């Protein structure tokens, strides 16, 4: 096995035949998470004193991710789908490569002291690397299983969403009618009342706005009780859908052989 | 096929034989959502500058919905159920037609600058058009499936509701007894304590009222723990009911033929 | 059929053979709910002007419930279990009769203007009448079904409760350690921190107390994330238990005959 | 049966053959819970007057737990696994023995008036004794059942956690971008916005921080709606997993004999 083939086997998730994720990709995953953590912490003003430390980390990440990107590009033709002359260019222009490039460029900018403001946020684009995992065998199967269960019940879930939407807007309209006079700031329009309705029906309940009139409290009370159904309905549909999906998977495994 | 028949096929959900919803009805659905969105935004005082824009939109909606209503009325006799001489009048007087008429009238009033105050809310009546969807084949089947599952377990769901209601009133009574003296404004009567009880047991937790005495906090703590059961009980019943319903549907499909 | 037998058939849930609840008991149920509603509203000081109205209602309720109690006592010997000479006395001394008596007495006290303060609360004892329903055939079956499902999984539910309790106390200890200094009022002892922990882990989140230090916020964040598991665990156990119970019921019905 | 063997049978959960937990261990469990309760209450400053009472209780607990520890150590060689000469020492150095020793020592320190501050917290280490229960037969089976169900769906639950984490960080980034200027204290960095994101997506909703700009409220609204999925997803997975596990247990029992 050539060195380039070995590199490719380590970097390409589809190429790795030992179960799970290859050691190199595992390391990269750890680096991605560390780099995201550093980028998140860098935005905190009270940690400004640690800025040089964060920048050194970013230098390490910048070098590592640049090397990884170059290696990936160099070894890609080992993949039969990219073996043709234009394969590398195609890979280079794929959206995930461009996202990676943006993230790496943002890291280099920070190293050279130009990564201020919203540019810093671009570094977090690397987070999307986590979707890679879905292409590894065991995780990928679970994703497909869950996703197919959700898709098979998409009409039911859509109905639950429509119902939630209707309750949301009706609650907002009702509170707008009865509370607008008492609290024009919080309930003076339907979009304003929607802020209250979302906080109530999802049971978040910030408590920044709430009805103060008797009528408003009675309607809000019923809306709050409805929130139980709004949470229980999709939970019930998903539970039934997953139950179905898991049974199918088991039946399929049984049909294949007695070792499952 | 006559032009009237073609119009009817496009407008009547039962008449459309191509799967899903007909192109014209899809357009109308989009117009309904757009019109509701505009009506919602119109209530917002900070968007008063956009008022002329909203009014122009409403003119478009008013013309479109009036035309649709007229077309529907004209083409209705194509439906055998409305083919008799009094069929059009019967359709005209059906409650959904009247709701539509009210919504259209409210739009025209706004166009002519008379749609102030609560009249604006009438425009939202059009929202009920969304229930149409339930008559289209695929959505309708899902509605029937979910609804029959809920109805089959209506006694169990009713019991969960009764239990929740009992816990609600007992929690309110308990807090009224122990907190009324410390906070007469918030817990000075059972109806007042109910406002707290609903916010707590649905886990909304606005935080506008909460017990301050030790005894009150202990009781409120137990009430909050009970809220887990109050949410989990209907979720569990619905999950089991949907699981049943989905299995029945699959069994029925299997019995029909091997292509399901 | 004698008049006493007819009265007994109407009043005794076990004696009624027509499905559901007998007309007289339905009326009594409505009266119970109305009487509870009036007793709840009577505690509200802003409704003091309606006091005479509430008292008139209570007079009606007092007469009706007294008559019902007397009729029940008179007709009870029709029930073979109470046909012996001491049967009426045994029924009179049963706990549910005593609860009813207390509620009726509290109503009469109010009618004569002596039902102030905590005596008013006794009127709500009548609420327990609602548990009667569980002896009617269709509701009773659902209660037994749900209850046996809960009992069969009582060990699992107990484990979920123990786990929730452990997380609760550990979160309270952790916040007590890191936040006591910054907020002695809210986190100065473990019982105080428990108030925060319950509000957080049940996702009620009043917002009257919350950590302000970095360390406290990080721990609270993890505690909040754990709350998802604390809600999902019993919901999942109940869903699986109900699914089991419903399948058993169906299997039993199928075994009985093809008409189910 | 020798006295030492009798003591061992009472103290060692594996040795007890009568179902459930032995009477002595049940007493110890009650003492553990009482001791934890006292330790929790002792931290409350307003109960300082009860301090002598708490100390007397702690003396009782200290004596009881010391005696129990000594008895356990003395009787352990009855267990064949610890019958060798070094068995007692091995048991003495096991982590659970050390945890118990720390808890007992902390109790004695309190009795002699030296259990101030964080040393008091060590007394709560005894709480871990509750995990003993998992070795008793009926509880242990339920633990294994639930745990194997969770482990079998660990990939799916991990996916749900990754998804929740992604939504969490994306919501925090979005709010940081749109709200940082308006509320630098609450949204001035991604870690700060994370505090809001966790409170919102777990539906705790303290209400100490919430967006005030229009853009922030719209994004927060969508984040709140997403919270339904974040709660429903693991609940659905767990429900399906437990449903599977309970069915397997029943099938296994059926295969064993007709008495289950």
| Residue B253 pLDDT > 90 | no
- For residue B215, the distance in angstroms to the closest alpha carbon of chain C comes to 12
Q: Which chains touch D (3 or more CB pairs under 8 A)?
A: A, B, C
d(CA C193, CA C184): 10
D199 vs C contacts (CB less than 8 Å): 205, 224
Average pLDDT over residues D187-194: 94
pLDDT at position C63 over 80: yes
| Neighbour-count burial for D180-191, b at 16+ CB within 10 Å, e otherwise | beebeebbbbbb
Contact residues on chain A for D228, CB-CB shorter than 8 A = 164, 202, 230-231, 234
- Chain C residues whose CB is inside 8 A of the B240 CB are 239, 242-243, 245-246
**Residue range A6-16: mean pLDDT, rounded:** 84
Is the confidence at residue C259, as pLDDT, over 60? no
Portion of chain C with pLDDT greater than 70, in percent: 94
Residue B250, pLDDT > 90, answer no
Residues in chain B with CB shorter than 8 Å from the CB of D204 are: 205
Backbone phi, then psi, for A139, in 5-degree steps?
Answer: -65, -45
Average pLDDT of every residue of chain B: 88
| Cβ-proximal residues to B30 (8 Å cutoff; 6+ apart), any chain | none
Residue range A85-133, pLDDT digits in tens:
888 999 899 888 888 888 899 889 888 877 666 777 888 888 877 776 6
Residue B45 CB contacts under 8 Å (≥ 6 apart), including other chains: A188, A189
Residues of chain B that touch chain D, judged by Cβ-Cβ distance less than 8 Å: 203-207, 235-236, 239, 243
pLDDT in tens, D27-64: 988 999 999 999 899 889 999 899 899 989 999 999 99
User: Which residues from B are below 8 Å from A237, CB to CB?
Assistant: 146, 238, 242
Cβ separation B203–D206 shorter than 8 A: no
Predicted pLDDT at A260: 39
| Least reliable range by pLDDT among A150-154, B72-76, C107-111, D251-255 | D251-255
pLDDT class of A11 with cuts at 50, 70, 90:
confident
Q: Which of A189, A230, A242 to mutate to test the interface with B (most CBs of B within 10 A)?
A: A189
pLDDT computed for residue B213 by the predictor: 95
Residues B236, D236: C-beta atoms closer than 8 Å = no
**Band (D83; pLDDT cuts 50, 70, 90):** confident
Has residue B136 got a pLDDT over 90?
Answer: no
Query: Which chain C residues are closer than 8 Å to B217 by Cβ?
Result: 195
Partner residue opposite D235 with nearest CB, options B203, B205, B235:
B235
CA distances from D55 to A211, B122, D46, D115 (A): 49, 70, 16, 10
User: From CA A203, how far away is CA A196, in angstroms rounded?
Assistant: 11
Give CA–CA dist D27/C141, Å, rounded. Answer: 38
Among D203, D236, D243, whose Cβ lies nearest the Cβ of B203?
D203
Q: Tokens 């339920």 identify what position?
A: D142
DSSP code per residue over chain D? --HHHHHHHHH-TTT--SSS--HHHHHHHHHHHHHHHHHHHHT-GGGGGGHHHHHHHHHHHHHHHHHHHHHHHHHGGGSGGG-STTHHHHHHHSHHHHHHHHHHHHHHHHHTT---TTHHHHGGGGGGGGGGGGGSHHHHHHHHHHHHHHHHTHHHHHHHHHHHHHHHHHHHHHHHHHHTTT-HHHHSSHHHHHHHHHHHHTT----SS---SHHHHHHHHHHHHHHHHHHHHHHHHHHHHHHHHHHHHHHHHHHH-TT-
Please name the chains neighbouring C, where neighbouring means 3+ C-beta pairs under 8 angstroms: A, B, D
Confidence (pLDDT) at D192: 95
Q: Using CA coordinates, name the residue in chain A closest to B129.
A: A166
CB atoms within 10 A of CB B76: 22
Chains near B with 3+ CB pairs less than 8 A apart are A, C, D
Nearest Cα residue in chain D from A238: D236
Are A166 and B208 inside 8 Å of each other by CB?
Answer: no
Give the pLDDT mean for D120-139: 75
Residues of C within 8 A of A235 (CB-CB) are 235
Mean pLDDT of C87-110: 88
Chain B residues inside the 8 Å CB shell of C194: 221
The minimal CB distance from D235 to the residues A40, A239, A246 is found for A239
Nearest Cα of chain C lies from the Cα of A224 at a distance, in angstroms, of: 12
Of all residues in chain D, the one with the smallest CA distance to C198 is: D204
Instruction: Please indicate whether residue B12 or residue C212 has the higher confidence score (pLDDT).
Output: C212
Residue B188 is given by DSSP the state S
Nearest C-alpha in B relative to A190? B40
Please provide residue D82's backbone torsions phi and psi, each rounded to the nearest 5 degrees: -120, 20
pLDDT the model gives residue A16: 80
Residues written for chain B: 260
Q: Which of C188, C194, C236 sits opposite D242 (nearest CB)?
A: C236
Whole-prediction pTM value?
0.91
B4/chain A closest Cα distance in angstroms:
32
Q: What is the ipTM of this complex?
A: 0.90
pLDDT in tens, B143-160: 888 999 999 999 899 999
**Given a cut of 70, is residue C251 above it in pLDDT?**
yes
**Residue A77 to chain D, least CA–CA distance (Å):** 31
**What residue of B is the nearest CA neighbor of A236?**
B239
Instruction: Specify the higher pLDDT residue, B136 or D72.
Output: D72
| Residue in chain B lying closest to C133 (CA) | B159
- Number of A/B CB contacts below 8 angstroms equals 117
Residue D127 has pLDDT above 90, yes or no: no
Contact D242 C244 (CB under 8 A): no
CA distance A198 to chain D (A): 6
What is the pLDDT averaged over residues B13-42? Answer: 86
C113/A200 Cα distance (integer angstroms) = 41
- pLDDT-derived band at B112 (thresholds 50, 70, 90) equals confident
Per-residue pLDDT at C249: 84
Q: Return the structure tokens found at C79.
A: 């029930």
A-chain residues within 8 Å CB-CB of D232?
231, 234-235, 238
Mean pLDDT, rounded, for C89-106: 88
Q: Residue B115's pLDDT is what? A: 64
Mean pLDDT (whole number) for D165-180: 94
For A35-80, what is each residue's pLDDT tens digit?
Answer: 999 989 988 999 989 989 998 999 999 999 999 999 989 998 888 8
**How does DSSP classify residue C115?**
-
Q: Which residue of A has its CA nearest to D196?
A: A206
Encode pLDDT of D215-225 as tens digits. Answer: 999 999 999 99
What does the pLDDT read at residue A135? 66
Specify the range with the lowest mean pLDDT, choosing from A154-158, B220-224, C197-201.
Answer: A154-158
- Backbone φ, ψ for residue A18 (5° rounding): -65, 135
| Chain A residues whose beta carbon lies within 8 Å of the beta carbon of residue C204 | 205
């Amino acid at each position: 096995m050539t060195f380039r083939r070995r590199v490719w086997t380590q970097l390409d998730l589809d190429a790795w035949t030992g179960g799970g994720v290859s050691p190199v990709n595992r390391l990269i995953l750890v680096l991605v998470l560390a780099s995201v953590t550093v980028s998140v912490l860098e935005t905190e003003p009270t940690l400004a004193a640690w800025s040089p430390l964060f920048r050194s980390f970013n230098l390490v990440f910048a070098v590592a991710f640049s090397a990884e990107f170059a290696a990936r590009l160099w070894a890609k033709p080992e993949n039969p789908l990219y073996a043709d002359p234009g394969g590398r260019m195609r890979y280079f222009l794929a959206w995930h490569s461009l996202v990676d490039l943006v993230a790496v460029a943002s890291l280099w900018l920070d190293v050279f002291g130009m990564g201020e403001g919203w540019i810093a946020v671009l570094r977090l684009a690397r987070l999307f690397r986590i979707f890679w995992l879905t292409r590894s065998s065991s995780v990928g199967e679970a994703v497909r299983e869950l996703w197919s269960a959700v898709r098979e019940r998409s009409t039911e879930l859509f109905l639950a969403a429509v119902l939630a939407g209707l309750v949301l807007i009706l609650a907002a309209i009702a509170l707008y009618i009865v509370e607008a006079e008492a609290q024009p700031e919080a309930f003076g329009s339907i979009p304003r009342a929607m802020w209250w309705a979302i906080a109530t029906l999802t049971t978040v309940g910030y408590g920044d706005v709430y009805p103060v009139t008797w009528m408003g409290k009675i309607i809000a009370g019923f809306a709050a009780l409805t929130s139980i159904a709004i949470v229980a309905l999709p939970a019930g549909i998903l539970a039934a859908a997953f139950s179905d999906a898991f049974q199918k998977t088991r039946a399929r495994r049984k049909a294949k052989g007695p070792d499952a």
